[in-house]
Each structure stands twice: as structure tokens, then as C-alpha cells.
Amino acid sequence: MAQTKKSENVPKPMQEKFQAIVEITDSFSRENLNDEYAQLIRYAVAAICRKRPSPMATGKANTWACGVTHAIGSVNFVFDKSQTPHIKTGELYKKFGVSESTGQAKSKAVRDMLGMYQMDPNWSLPSRLQSNPMAWMLSVNGILVDVRRMPREVQEIAFEKGLIPYIPDDKE
């Protein structure tokens, strides 16, 4: 897994749109999710704003806010009621004021643009990375291994190459 660089930097022409979308997502996250979600959503909005040309230059801020929030939520299973926090998809669409079909379409566009998938280590909540097997599975000599069970030297090499998010013993 190559680490995705996270940043809230956006080009000048996109700053106003970025700010409009982030105001909506930050408010939604405060009321329904948490600070970790808010931060990941801001990173995703900024990543799309940096695309040339940015698709966020057109379209409504609330629609993009819904799409990005849904995409990040999908990666992190926010729609699973056994998770904390969680929210129903219909409730999410309603709170952003978009239809289900629009919300799903914008979410798919976001996931495609940023290469997101369920349990994507690049878009997982930091608090859940340790328990995310996708962040730790590597192919060593053609065999899939959990690098957390490998010697520290192997973990250090994997970390230096950007294949794992951190050295597990250093976070405990």
C-alpha cells in the first residue's frame, strides 16, 4: 500500500469552493460523526480540488459534500449500525438535501477519482488503522503475510518504502 499524501492545500481558484464544501462537511461531522471523519473528508475534498481541471469547479457544494462524506463513510463502514459513529444512508442524503441517486452517483465519482475502496488504508480512520488488515498485508516472495507478525527489521523496511502506515510496536 503506497501512502497517499494528505493535505488541505488547494489551488487559489478552488479555495472558495473548498471552503464552501468544508463548511458543510465540518458541520455535518460535528453533528453526526466525529473529528476524524471531518479531517479525512477535508483531505478528500482538497485532493479533488487539486485535480486539473477540478470537477468540483462545477456542481453544488452540498452535492459534493454529500458525495465525499458518503465515499469516506463507505470506506469506514459508517452505514453499519454496529459501528460508532454510524448513520443510515437515507438520513445522510436527507441531511445534505440530495436525492439518493444523486448522492450515490457523486459518491461513486469521488471513489473512482481517488481510487477508494472499502477498508482502503489511505482513507481509513486513523483510530481504525491498527485493526484494518488491508493496511498490513504484503506479498513477501509471493506469499501474502501480515507484516505485524514479521520481525521488526522487515517492518522498518516496509515502513521506509511507504508500504505500511507505521511500525506497529511504535504506536502501542
What pLDDT, on a 0 to 100 scale, did the predictor assign at position 7? Answer: 87
Q: Residue 55: CB partners within 8 Å, gap ≥ 6?
A: 48, 109, 113
Residue 64 Cα distances to 79, 90, 97, 170, angstroms: 19, 16, 11, 37
* Mean pLDDT, 10 residues at a time, the chain of 172 residues: 73 96 98 97 97 94 98 97 95 97 97 95 93 91 93 93 90 66
Q: Which sequence spans correspond to the domains of the chain?
A: 12-120, 136-171
pTM: 0.89
Pairing of strands 137-140, 143-146: antiparallel
H helix or E strand, kind and range, residue 114: helix 100-114
Query: For the chain, what's the residue count?
Result: 172
pLDDT tens digit string along 100-146? 999 999 999 999 999 999 999 999 999 999 999 999 999 988 999 99
**Structural domain 12-120, CATH architecture:** Orthogonal Bundle (1.10)
Q: Give the integer Cα–Cα distance in Å for 62 and 165.
A: 32
